[in-house]
Amino acid sequence: MCVEKWMALYNQTKETVEQDAAGVTVRLATITCGCGWVRGITEMYQCLYCREWFCQFCAENHFGKTVKQYKADKAAGYDNAS
């Protein structure tokens, strides 16, 4: 894992731990995407493999397809819509 990716993951983990310690509920918790955009954690996407959180724009780039494409694949019955 490159240093930049590790630091992004470390900072996101630190951010969530600090909010949890302060008693912030999940519905109000925020997280910072690698692009710098701060969003509510319920509006972010987490990669199952690298564990990093992404805003929708960065997630579509990271996962290689848009949300619309993913939903279309899933509706078409593909086993692996990812």
- Could you tell me the pTM of the whole model? 0.79
Per the model's pLDDT, the better-predicted residue between 81 and 79 turns out to be 79
Domain residue limits, the chain: 32-82
Burial category of 31 from C-beta neighbours within 10 Å (exposed 0-12, middle 13-18, buried 19 and up):
buried
pLDDT in tens, 11-61: 999 999 999 999 999 899 999 999 999 999 999 999 999 999 999 999 999
